[in-house]
Chains A and B, each alone.
Chain A
Amino acid sequence: MNSVSLAVEAERLVKVFGNVKALDGLSFHVEKGKIYGLIGPNGAGKTTALRIISTLILPTSGSARVFGRDVVDEASEVRSLISYLPGEAGAYKNLSGFEYLQFMGKFNSKDRNHLKEMVEDAAKISGMGDRLKDRIKTYSTGMKRRLLVARALMTKPKLAVLDEPTSGLDVLHAYHVRGIIKQYTKESGVTVLLSSHNMLEVEHICDQVALINRGSIVAEGSPAELKAKHKAANLEEVFAEVAGLA
């Protein structure tokens, strides 16, 4: 795999908060146009890894590049290539859904028509219809999450970094969002790096997964490869085995 075909190259990432090592030499590569999932239990280091890739925090050591750009030295270039959806993200509650999408969209496009297209796309992705005219404070948790996913995808970024994209969604809406992510990757050539602790869900949408435990990767491959290698029925069983829980 040469670096030209790579969207993300993370090399031996270490991140220390106080006396806690959140990442311990994490390395992974994401190919362009693919959906890559970081899977692991709470506290495994998934969010920390995504925050480093999204230029929000600095690695203590190691390096990461997004489409060849260094996340530390070329942070502002990286930001124009990515769209980041935090795991516990909120939205400005006194704005309407439309106003929120327009506000966020304006940072990605100065062209009015393009902005209009983006917001229309977001309306489709979220499936919220006229509710987008209402103030965000009136939305349910699920509606808010759909709005945020739509915001992250509407700009058609080169890399979408999605931290637990379906958290807080019911079965139907989670299914809807997963479908959208898959469809977007195919149609727009968007590369997706996502995290989840729901291993069964990830199996359905990810081309490649990395199982993380205590800040480092314990297994990596396509869901089918991993299941075959470990003779497991699903990724949950794979994880239990590699993490020494089985």
Chain B
Amino acid sequence: MLEELRNIVLKEVKEMIRDPRILLGMVLAPLLIFPLMGFMFRTSTEAMQQSLRTVSIAVADLDKGDVAKNLTDFLRSIQTVKVNTINARDTEEIATIVKASNATAVIIIPENFSQNITNGQRGELKIYGVFRGGGIAESASFSIAQNLLESFKQKLTLQTVQTKFPDNSTVVLDPFNASQGSIVKGKPVDVPPSALFAFAQAQFLGLPIALFMLIILAMQLAATSVAAEKEEKTLETLMSLPLNRFTMLIGKLAGSTIVAAIGAIATILGVIYYMGSFTFATAAQPSVDLSAVGLTPSLLDYAILGTSVFVSLLCALALAVVISVFAEDVRGAQSLLGFVYTPLVFPLFVLMFADLDALPIGLRVFLLALPFTHPVLATRATMTGDYFTPVLGIAYVTIFTLGILYIAARIFATEKILTMRIRLGRKKTIQE
């Protein structure tokens, strides 16, 4: 049996890998498209950063007072800011002047601005963003102008507080400090929750997405592998061979898994490169020492997660095979698979944003009945040290999968695999 299985698996892998549609679509495209997207993102971000090196801000000082002058001087003191002074008084006129310049923001300081502040009253000024199409660079440079105003405001506050409390101005402004910690698996650790949340969210998003990609790819391949036998008229010959039908089924599942794993690795490599393009552009997350907070996955965690993923994958493959039996050709199989993707995707997206326990009971039962919910739950459970939930999930998915495999094996063992048909939008005919 093992030799026959090896023969089938080898044939499946050769057939799929040599199929240009599979090779290009599932292996080469992710390796090329994601890095290309990353390159384009990196190039455009670099161009944006280049444009932000000097931000041009126009200032219309109608006040001419001390505070207004200090503000203009403050802006001028920033190396990356170019200040254009506008002498016009009318807002319409200012707008016309600014339009012709390259300023991304204009600050209009009205009369009595300085006097009001000096007299202990609130000063009013207005900042306009110059809309030139609403690109990311435009929005970023307006934010810079806004932030500079906030910095100047803080500077003014500090000056006022220093005058009144020369010895302890910083304490007055910031009377206490709240240091943060987290409680992980019932133990206190000196790591801010935000850092743990960032880490956990990366896990919750990363694993389900990778798992989802692997399952979708494997399902497509498994369904294609059975439907192609029908389309290419090779199934009848294969079914007439002295070959155990269950071996044939397992061979197809194994072949699809191997090729899907290659496709998933290619996609993950592509995505890693793509995500790498963002890291320099985003603020670095505080690094977490996983071993110090007790979140380093143990061998048991890996074994539980691996088993959970494996049984879900097997379940998806068996489901794809059962579905493809109803299709007449590859196109039909792909269309039928479309109906399965929704329940497949559903738990992944719901659980990314909500806790299972927080959901209404009906939705909770529905989610728990779907086999693809359980690997996502296993990710969380192993992180909190709860091993009962994933083990129960594995048992449930295994039983579910055995049921589907039994149906698949029954279909393979009978003439149904040759005679069953669901034609989507096509006329039904009866074979000879």
Q: Which of B233, B242, B243, B414 has the most CB of A within 10 A?
A: B242
Question: Is there an interface contact between B415 and A89, defined as CB atoms closer than 8 Å?
Answer: no
**Chain A residues with Cβ under 8 A from B3's Cβ?**
106, 110
Per-residue CB proximity of B241-257 to A under 8 Å, as 1/0?
Answer: 11110000000000000
> In the complex, which residues 66-96 of chain A have their Cβ closer than 8 Å to any Cβ of chain B?
76, 79-80, 82-86, 88-95
Complex CA–CA separation, A170 to B244 (angstroms): 36
Question: Is there an interface contact between B241 and A22, defined as CB atoms closer than 8 Å?
Answer: no
**Given A57-B419, A85-B237, A92 and B232 contact (CB-CB distance below 8 Å):** yes
CB nearest to A86 among chain B residues = B236
**Chain A residues with Cβ under 8 A from B15's Cβ?**
92, 94-95
Partner of B240, one of A56, A99, A110: A56
Shortest CB-to-CB span from B241 to chain A, Å, is 5
Shortest CB-to-CB span from A54 to chain B, Å, is 5
Question: Is there an interface contact between A103 and B432, defined as CB atoms closer than 8 Å?
Answer: no
Question: Is there an interface contact between A57 and B415, defined as CB atoms closer than 8 Å?
Answer: yes
> In the complex, which residues 226-280 of chain B have their Cβ closer than 8 Å to any Cβ of chain A?
232-234, 236-237, 239-244
Range, interface on chain B: 20 to 34
B355 interface hit (Cβ, 8 Å): no
Per-residue CB proximity of B396-432 to A under 8 Å, as 1/0?
Answer: 0000000000000000001100110000000000111
Question: Is there an interface contact between B432 and A58, defined as CB atoms closer than 8 Å?
Answer: no
Question: Is there an interface contact between B237 and A95, defined as CB atoms closer than 8 Å?
Answer: no
**Given A93-B232, A103-B7, A106-B3, A56 and B415 contact (CB-CB distance below 8 Å):** yes
CB nearest to B3 among chain A residues = A110
Per-residue CB proximity of B318-332 to A under 8 Å, as 1/0?
Answer: 000000000000000
Segment of A43-51, A123-131, A174-182, A231-239 engaged in the interface with chain B: A43-51
A244 interface hit (Cβ, 8 Å): no
Number of cross-chain contacts by CB at 8 Å = 86
A55 interface hit (Cβ, 8 Å): yes
CB nearest to B16 among chain A residues = A94
**Chain A residues with Cβ under 8 A from B7's Cβ?**
103, 106-107
Complex CA–CA separation, A86 to B240 (angstroms): 10
Partner of A88, one of B10, B233, B419, B430: B233
CB nearest to B239 among chain A residues = A56
**Given A89-B236, A95-B11, A17 and B241 contact (CB-CB distance below 8 Å):** no
Complex CA–CA separation, A106 to B376 (angstroms): 42
Complex CA–CA separation, A60 to B242 (angstroms): 23
CB nearest to B414 among chain A residues = A58
Partner of A99, one of B14, B19, B236, B414: B14
B4 interface hit (Cβ, 8 Å): yes
Range, interface on chain A: 35 or more
B155 interface hit (Cβ, 8 Å): no
**Chain A residues with Cβ under 8 A from B239's Cβ?**
56
Question: Is there an interface contact between A55 and B240, defined as CB atoms closer than 8 Å?
Answer: yes
Per-residue CB proximity of A104-120 to B under 8 Å, as 1/0?
Answer: 10111010000000000
CB nearest to A102 among chain B residues = B7
Question: Is there an interface contact between B432 and A43, defined as CB atoms closer than 8 Å?
Answer: yes
Per-residue CB proximity of B1-36 to A under 8 Å, as 1/0?
Answer: 001100100110011001100000000000000000
Shortest CB-to-CB span from B430 to chain A, Å, is 5
Complex CA–CA separation, A82 to B430 (angstroms): 27
Question: Is there an interface contact between A79 and B432, defined as CB atoms closer than 8 Å?
Answer: no
Q: Which of B18, B233, B240 has the most CB of A within 10 A?
A: B240
Complex CA–CA separation, A107 to B5 (angstroms): 10
CB nearest to B4 among chain A residues = A107
Question: Is there an interface contact between A22 and B432, defined as CB atoms closer than 8 Å?
Answer: yes
Question: Is there an interface contact between A94 and B14, defined as CB atoms closer than 8 Å?
Answer: yes
Per-residue CB proximity of A138-178 to B under 8 Å, as 1/0?
Answer: 00000000001001000000000100000000000000000
New A-B pairs, 11, CB < 8 Å, besides A85-B237, A92-B232, A107-B242: A17-B419, A42-B432, A43-B432, A46-B432, A58-B415, A82-B240, A86-B233, A89-B237, A94-B19, A95-B14, A107-B241
- 27 CB < 8 A contacts A-B: A20-B430, A22-B432, A48-B432, A54-B240, A56-B236, A56-B239, A56-B418, A57-B419, A58-B414, A79-B242, A79-B243, A80-B242, A83-B240, A85-B237, A86-B233, A88-B233, A89-B236, A90-B232, A91-B234, A92-B232, A92-B234, A95-B15, A106-B4, A107-B4, A107-B7, A107-B241, A148-B237
